Amino acid sequence: MKIVQAVGWYHPDSLGGTEIYVSSLARQLRGCGHEVVVAAPDTTITAPRVYEHDGCEVFRYPIPASPTREEAQGDAVVRGAEHLHRWLARAGADVVHFHTFVTGLGLPEVHAAKDAGSRVIVTTHASSLGFMCQRGTLMLQGRALCDGIVDVQRCAACALEHRGAPGPVAAALSYVPPPTGAVIGRMPGPAGTALGMTDLIVRNMGRQRAMLAAVDAFVVLTGRAAEMMLANGSPPAKIVVNRLGIREHDSATALKRSRVNGTARGPVRVGYVGRFEDVKGVADLAEAVSRVPQDLPLHVEFRGPAQTLAERQTRADIERMFASDRRVSVGDAIAPPDVQNVLRSYDVLCCPSRCLEGGPTVGLEALAAGVPLIAASAGGVAEVLEDGVNGRLVPPGDVDRLAAALQEVASDPDGTICRWKQHLPIPRTMRDVAHDYLPLYTGQEPVAR
């Protein structure tokens, strides 16, 4: 088969969990004898280009760094995406596999793939679950996990609050009738976006229905996400769960890891490895560390990229917060070959996400390295852990509970970390993930897992 993996960002200019997932999936599929090509938009180029990454051809097409509102909201084909449409028409792919929708990779591109005669599979790596959550995190008002039911008024208020509108203002704007919002929302600037939010929610519901009608399968990474999709009326035959996996060499570590009874002498080492982004819960972790008594033997290390202005600001805030606190260190992103060694240097890894995510991948990699987790109680990691048995699960955004978990491991590492290590699950691998995709690619019934 010829398989196109379409993703919103890709190596070498972006290195996140989705990019690693796609690269690993492509490697597994090529190992099974299939031809794989990766396609991704690029805001830094003015003409299409082709290069090779990890033995796989990559097609990049230009899109604007500053899209119009119509392009960003999916009401117009993004400038430059026509290059992808023409490329798909020529490629003759048996399967086009989309990984999350972003500007320049959305419903028009799904239709272009179908028009080219390809079978279309979508895997959502984002908490938006396609076009379902305008906030993009499935956290209601940013405070608690949402039930996922799309309600125009509730969703509009939540999305507006996320964009900075005060609560009473967001609530008032959520009462704008969608037909009225469609008219007054045409005015330029943030005011138009705010006044048209109810209409945008309605249009996104329409896009979701159109997307699900067009695709052959819609893949989610967690059972909770599948429940939310079905609760909103998605066709059950098209909703498939294919849980996250890790790279083969990372999984091999799991089979060899030692189940030691003690931790290294000295402070309990807690690691955070990920972007300095709000939805990853990094600021929650920093606040939780500040609440842990100074006399407890604890050292927390923050490692990760800070690519956007907001991420750099968050990192700077954490550095200032702990400028005179020797319990905390802040470091740069970790090169992929070094991730396992860094993870093994920790006694526990903290994954306090403020969204319903499929992983995070680094949490599964830590489990493979024999390192237990303190993690959010929602998401892929939470579905493979048992609270108090092989880790500690904390409600997303609950800083008090997160601080209590840190205090718990620092006060009693033998009763927590050492005991948890005896029961760590061995994560799935990307070989398992690829194996479960092949029936979807060929139109067979997926294997239940």
The three-class DSSP label of residue 255 is helix
Alpha carbon distance, N-terminus to C-terminus of the chain: 24
Q: Is pLDDT at 445 greater than 90 in this prediction?
A: no
What's the confidence (pLDDT) of residue 259?
Answer: 43
Do the two domains 2-123+215-244+430-442 and 248-421 of this chain adopt the same fold? yes
CATH number of 2-123+215-244+430-442: 3.40.50.2000
Q: In the structure encoding, which two tokens stand for residue 164, read together?
A: 């900075």
pLDDT digits (tens, 9 = 90+) for 294-351: 999 999 999 999 988 999 999 999 999 999 999 999 999 998 889 999 999 999 999 9
pTM equals 0.90
Query: Cβ of 261: how many Cβ atoms within 10 Å?
Result: 10
Name 181's Cβ contacts closer than 8 Å, sequence gap at least 6. Answer: 195, 196, 197, 198, 199, 200
pLDDT value of residue 257? 52
Question: Does the pLDDT value for residue 252 go beyond 60?
Answer: no
Q: Using the predicted structure, report yes or no on whether residue 38 has a pLDDT greater than 90.
A: yes
- Residue 199's pLDDT band, with cuts at 50, 70 and 90, is very high
**In whole angstroms, what is the distance from residue 33 CA to residue 22 CA?**
17
- Under DSSP, the state recorded for 57 is E
Cα separation, 168 vs 371, in Å, equals 44
- CA-to-CA distance for 272 and 12, rounded, in angstroms? 23
Percent of the chain with pLDDT over 90: 84
Fold of the domain spanning 248-421: Rossmann fold (3.40.50)
In the numeric block, the tokens 């604007």 are attached to 64
Q: Detail the DSSP E strand segments found in 157-255.
A: 217-220, 239-241
How far apart CA 413 and CA 392 sit, in angstroms, is 13
Query: Any idea where the domains of the chain sit in the sequence?
Result: 2-123+215-244+430-442, 147-196, 248-421
The residues near 116 (Cβ < 8 Å, ≥ 6 apart) are: 88, 89, 91, 92, 93, 96
